[in-house]
Every structure is written in C-alpha cells, then in structure tokens.
Amino acid sequence: MAQRHLTKTAMSKNGNNPEARSIFRKARACFASPSARKYKAGLELLKHAASLGEVGAHEWLGAAYDYGLGTRPNRRRAFEHYLTAAKAGNPNSEYHVGIFYHAGIGVRKNRTLAATWLQKSVRHGDAYAMHVLGKCYRYGQGVRRNPEKGFALQLKAARKGVVEAQFSVGVCLSRGEGVRPDPEQAFRWYLRAAKKGHDDAAYNLGYFYDTGRGVKQNSRKAQLWYARAEELRNNGGLKRSSAGGLRTYA
C-alpha cells in the first residue's frame, strides 16, 4: 500500500465547525516535520478535532494508526477511522478501506467489499484505487474477471503517474492481457516505471534489450538495465521473484 497519509487534502463534509477546523489545521502542522514529540501532539489534536466532527481528522487518524505516527501501529483502529471518513466520501479513505478489506488488514478479508469501496474511490478520481481495482478485474478478485476492464483502469492510473500501474500496463501489453500484444508500447511503459525506480520494470527493459523484443537488440544496454534492477532491489526496492525471463507478476 502506498504511503499517502500526509499527501492529500482531507475532504470534510461537515465544514461548519470553525473550532474543529482550527484544531485540525494545528494537527496537520504537527506532522509537517518528522518529530516524535510533534507527532504525539498532533495525534491528540486529531482526536479532539475528530470528536468535534471533523471528517478529515478521521482520515489522518487512520493514517497515524496505520503507519505508527505518534503512536504504535494499530490497524484495527486505523480501519475504523478510515471507514468513518470513507462513509463521508473521502476518496483517500475509501481507497484505504478497500485495501484493508482486500488484504484482511485490521478487518476480516472480504474481496467483494474491497471492490465496492475501491469503486467508490475510483468514482472520486483516485488514481491508486484505479490501479488496484484494475488488478481486481484482471484476476477476478471480488468482481467478475474482466481483463479488458482491468487493463483500461490500470492504463488510466498509469497515465496519472502511478508507477505500479505503469509496470502492470507493460505486463498486459507484453502478454496480450486485456489488450492486443504490443511489445514496443510495453517497452515504453516499462521505461517510464523504471525511470521512477521500479526494479522489475528495469529488469524487463534488460530482458527486452537482451532478446530484441520491442526494441533493437543491444547486449550492452541489457546489462546496464539488469544492473540497474539489481541496484534498485539492493537499495530497498520491492522484493520480487528472481526467476529468469520476463517478470509478469503484476
């Protein structure tokens, strides 16, 4: 799950309580710089704002309990706060509720409910939800399998800059999943993702150069991209299968 806890402006539907809004602003300011003391102070302010009905405070409390900001991680409490904000129409919280249901984090796994909440977030324009819902359609998780719809959703997310979606689009175009195979376009999408630090996308670029698939064969560039993929993994990139050949886990 992408760490988006402090990246979005909260959507508060109540908006009629000046005191709650003021406390919420002070709480957000506490999370502006990494400091355990400020995080704890911000957490208490968020609790106060939430008790006064500030929906955005529930979103941020969900993130605080999710990622352990000012408190120990508590995924059950995180889910409860995300759910409160999601029911008020907060897209980021709708996304997180969908993710929690999808993976069984802080709540019993329920792929059908996961898809329902992700669909709500997609309707509100959330690009990350588009990516995950696309994956649900590709694999039939909580919805009837529909590779074409899954690809379309992930393509939309990829165009909005979601790196994992860019890799997934490359995978679909590589093997003709939900779309006609197009190695040249697959190469371009892998390149976009690799330039943003996606290790398996970098590896696949190496494979394409190695085999002359979607691009002119070039052993030197193949080795450069293989090395880049290894570097990314060693520097904290996502740990995935090291099996030979094209990586198409997405």
Could you give the domains of the chain?
20-73 (no CATH), 83-161 (1.25.40.10), 170-250 (1.25.40.10)
What is the mean pLDDT, run by run of 10 residues, along the chain of 250 residues?
A: 45 68 96 93 98 96 97 98 97 97 98 98 98 98 98 98 98 97 98 97 97 97 97 72 44
Torsion, Cα of 190, 240, 175, 131 (10° steps): -70
Query: What confidence score (pLDDT) does residue 235 get?
Result: 85
Selection from 206, 207, 196 nearest residue 232 by Cα: 196
pLDDT of residue 56: 96
The Cα–Cα gap between 138 and 172 comes to 10
What tokens were used for 15?
Answer: 């908006």
pLDDT value of position 142: 98
pTM to 2 decimal places:
0.88
Q: Which residues contact 6 (CB under 8 A, 6 or more apart)?
A: 28, 31, 60, 63
pLDDT score, position 16: 73
| CB contact set of 15 (below 8 Å; sequence gap of 6+) | 21
Ramachandran bin of 161, using left for φ above 0, alpha for ψ from -120 to 50, beta for the remaining angles: left
